[in-house]
């Protein structure tokens, strides 16, 4: 049986700051850590901190939150 996943919420201020930077920042929805060099539309990338495939680009997370 698969473990239930409870996503970490990333605040809009944090997302907006990430989108304003030139560093291509994304976030892990499993642990909340920032990931760098992430394409804006990335989905399910591997987190270097916790190993989960829950890294999303900041823009993608904003779209997912609004939709």
Q: What is the pLDDT of residues 43-60, one digit of tens each?
A: 999 999 999 999 999 999
**Residue 1 forms part of a structural domain:** no
Q: What is the pTM of this model?
A: 0.85
Lowest mean pLDDT among 2-11, 15-24, 40-49: 2-11
Domain containing 50 equals 12-66
Question: What is the layout of strands, in order, in the sheet containing 25-28?
Answer: 34-36, 25-28, 55-57
Distance of alpha carbon 31 from alpha carbon 67, whole angstroms = 22
Q: What is the mean pLDDT of the chain?
A: 90
The total number of structural domains in the chain stands at 1
Reduced to 3 states (helix: H, G, I; strand: E, B; else coil), residue 49 is coil
| CATH number of the domain that residue 31 is part of | 2.20.28
């Amino acid at each position: 049986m698969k473990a239930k996943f409870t996503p970490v919420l990333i605040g809009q201020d944090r997302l907006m700051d990430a989108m304003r930077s030139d560093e291509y920042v994304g976030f892990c929805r499993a642990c909340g850590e920032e990931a760098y060099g992430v394409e804006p539309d990335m989905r399910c990338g591997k987190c270097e901190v916790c190993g989960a495939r829950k890294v999303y680009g900041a823009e993608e997370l904003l779209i997912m939150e609004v939709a």
